[in-house]
Every structure is written in structure tokens, then in C-alpha cells.
Amino acid sequence: MKKYVLILLIIIIAGCAKIREKIVLYPKLEKKPLLCGILIPYEPRYRSLGEDMRDGVLLGLDGIKANVYDTDADPIQAIEAVRKAIFKDRVTCIIGPLFSNTAIPVACVSQLAGVPMLSPTATEEKLPSIGEYIYKLYSPLDVEEIALARYIMKDIKPYDIAILASDDSYGRRIARKFKEEIGLLGGKIVHVFYYTPGSSNLRENMLSLRDTNTDAIFVSASESDIPAIASQFAYYEVLGSSTIIFGMEDWGYPRVVGEYVGYLPCVIFTSFSDFGKYPEFEKAFNHRFGRAPTDVAFMGYAAAKLITRAVKNGINDRRSLQFWLSDNDTIQPLSGIALSKEELFSYVKIFEVKKGNIKPLN
């Protein structure tokens, strides 16, 4: 694995050397209407996601010119695509790529070339740290585990906390962010356990959790896994009468609540007040493209609306766009979406389930 990482770094460095040469050749671009470059994968496995982001961006750009480039979900192809966009087509900005593995090398090229890049969907938290030209959109989904950790340490103050999370990239990322925030706030995560998603036999996890004797368990699980986890908590007598289960939005779905309410004494979960309630966007997307939009399409649309707002403020070149984005990181192009995470914590709501009753806690 290390060998492949080294090869990728060498390729990026080589590409960057060529980029530096071209920067000398093209120190300034003439004033012209803003042109956006959209980087998505047409690779068959991810084509539908790529098309969703592309169409969301095109809808949000509202007539602003854009070229679409194929990353093929491959870092090397992504470098070639962004070089074409920047040096041949002279785009003003980049929206995308879809995934972190392609967003990182594209961000390196964009930063060296001085071209603003706005990622609406990449999950890599450190992406903006690559440089001043690199931006990432955040939604309440990006801060829910942090908001929950803050609530726990402020209002619950448990002695110690265990974590049970799905053994996949999503579950591990959520568990890591939650653990880091609890630690920053002076809390203690005593154990972290991972389960196989979709598994109905969690005996080893349950026995290990029971032995920890913790007074709080954070469970990062999908809607489909929650009923089995809840029933096995009860079967293996993992929870005491005062043990609290903490989770995220999936724990609040009515069907899920109905399936676990008889097994668990108390569940506290996050949800969102306004995120996802955009009927005008859904109607416009469906009318133009003949299908219902996904979350990926929505985030692409939000990124494009931010660029549209910049254009309405007279922005039409790379450097002024970079200044504008940096000066307006608290602007929400759509309610609950921003370049700054701190703007979004108020959108995360905390709810409690006891004996089948759901009530807000904040």
C-alpha cells in the first residue's frame, strides 16, 4: 500500500512541476465571464452519483457557463482532467470532485495554479488545509456527532462512554470524530467496538460491552441495523436501568423507534430542523431532469448557488473569487449549508426517546 501512495505522490509532484511552468507562462488571465469546471466520475460504478452532482451544479449555476470533466474516480485521471480545465480551458473555478481520493490531488493542482476549488461532497476533513484556494461545503450531517458530544459533556456528564460502530469507512469516521470531540471536552471513551454491518449475531460485541459496565454507549448504526442491535442489548442484558444509548438521525425514524422502544430504557439522538426541506429545489430538479434529486445533487446545487451569489456580487476572476469565498465563509447559499462548520450547530437538534415518547431536549 505504501508503495502505491509513494507512486501517487511522485505523479502529483511531477504534475505540479509542469503546473509551475505553466503558471509562469500564464501569470494573468484576461477578464471574461466566469467559467466553472465540474469534475465528476463517469466510471460505471459511480456514474449515477457523478451525474447527480453534475445536474445539481448545472441547475444551481443558473446559466453561468460550465464545462464537465471526467475524473473516472481515479486520482491520476483527475489530475489530467483538472490540468485540462485550468490550463487549456482556463476555468475560473472548480466544483468537485465527488470523492476525497480524487479531491486531494485536484486540490493540490488547483492550489498551485491559484484556482478556487469548492468540494461539495468530499469527506476528507483536512481538505481545506491544502491551501487558501481550497474550500469544502458543510451540512448539519458533518457536525452532528460533534454537536451530540458537546451536548453529552455539557448536560449529561457521564462518567465514561463506550462506542459501538459499524465496521466500514462511515462508521469508523463517525466514531473517530465523536471520540476526538469527547476527548477535547474532557470526557473519556473507555472502549470502542466495531460490528459487521448487516450481521444479526453480535454476541461477542454484546458480551464485551456488558463487561465494560459503562453508563453511556454511543451507537453509530444504520436504520436497518438498529432493531437487531437493540434486541441483542436486551437479550444479553448489556444495559442497566440508567444506561443511555446515544445515536444519530437513524434512531429517530418512526419505524425504528417502534422496533426498539421495548428493549431500551433511554435513547438520545440527533436530528435536523430544516435540512432537506427544499421543495422548490426538488420541484425544479425533477422538472428539468425528470427524476428526484439525491443528497449529492442537493450539495452540488448548494455549491453552485454559492458561486452564483459571488457572480451577482461582481466576481468574475480567480483571485477575486478566492477573496470573496474567504470573506464570506459564514454565508449560507441554502439554509443549513456553509463553508464554516460553526454556522451549522444550531441546525442539529437533540431528542430523547423514553417509553415510546419523543421529546426535544434543546
pLDDT in tens, 157-166: 887 899 999 9
Phi/psi at 356 (nearest 5 deg)?
85, -5
Q: Which residue from 135, 359, 163 is spatially nearest to 269, judged by alpha carbons?
A: 359
Cα(37)–Cα(97) distance, integer angstroms: 10
Residue 169's pLDDT band, with cuts at 50, 70 and 90, is confident
pLDDT higher at 30 or 113: 113
First-to-last alpha carbon distance for the chain, in angstroms, is: 46
CB atoms within 10 A of CB 98: 26
Q: Which residue from 300, 299, 306 is spatially nearest to 321, judged by alpha carbons?
A: 306
Grid cell locating 344: 451549522
Contact 94, 37 (CB under 8 A): yes
Q: Does position 227 have pLDDT exceeding 60, yes or no?
A: yes
pLDDT in tens, 124-141: 989 999 999 999 999 888
**What pLDDT score was predicted for residue 130?**
96
Residue 30's pLDDT band, with cuts at 50, 70 and 90, is very low
Mean pLDDT over the full length of the chain:
88
In this prediction, residues 175-197 reach a mean pLDDT of 91
Q: Does position 17 have pLDDT exceeding 50, yes or no?
A: no
Q: Does position 204 have pLDDT exceeding 60, yes or no?
A: yes
Single-letter code of the amino acid located at 215: D
Which residue's entry shows cell 444509548? Answer: 245
Contact 52, 294 (CB under 8 A): yes
Considering 50-59, 265-274, 335-344, 349-358, the range whose residues carry the highest mean pLDDT is: 50-59
In angstroms, what CA-CA distances link 109 with 39, 73, 105, 258? 13, 16, 6, 50
Q: Which residues pair with 246 in a beta bridge?
A: 218, 268
List all residues 6 or more positions away from 332 whose beta carbon is below 8 Å from its beta carbon.
Answer: 338, 343
In this prediction, residues 66-80 reach a mean pLDDT of 97
